Copies of this chain bind each other. A is one copy, B any other.
């Protein structure tokens, strides 16, 4: 089975919801730790660097949660995956 262990995403977010609720929503997509850094704030949007760590991150759920909150993934900057033949898919 191949697990996504870490993602570093560049995200463009509207001012609402705030970064607290935004991080919580991402963390709830699985047993994840989310570390969100506000890189830039302008009139309408916030540019965020979001690191997500977990045993097995569900990227589709992450994409869905982000879209649901009116935000968008500007780029995937870092991906860390691990394959372990012993775990069943």
Complex: A75 Cα to B4 Cα, angstroms:
25
Q: Do A18 and B76 form a contact, CB below 8 Å, given A2-B24, A2-B27, A24-B2?
A: yes
A5-54 at interface with B (beta carbon < 8 Å): 5-6, 18-20, 23-24, 27-28, 30-38, 41
Please list 26 pairs of residues, one from A and one from B, whose beta carbons are closer than 8 Å in the complex, sorted by A's number: A2-B24, A2-B27, A2-B28, A4-B23, A6-B35, A18-B76, A19-B79, A20-B59, A20-B76, A20-B79, A23-B79, A23-B80, A24-B83, A27-B81, A31-B83, A32-B83, A33-B80, A34-B79, A34-B80, A34-B81, A34-B82, A35-B79, A36-B80, A37-B78, A38-B75, A41-B75
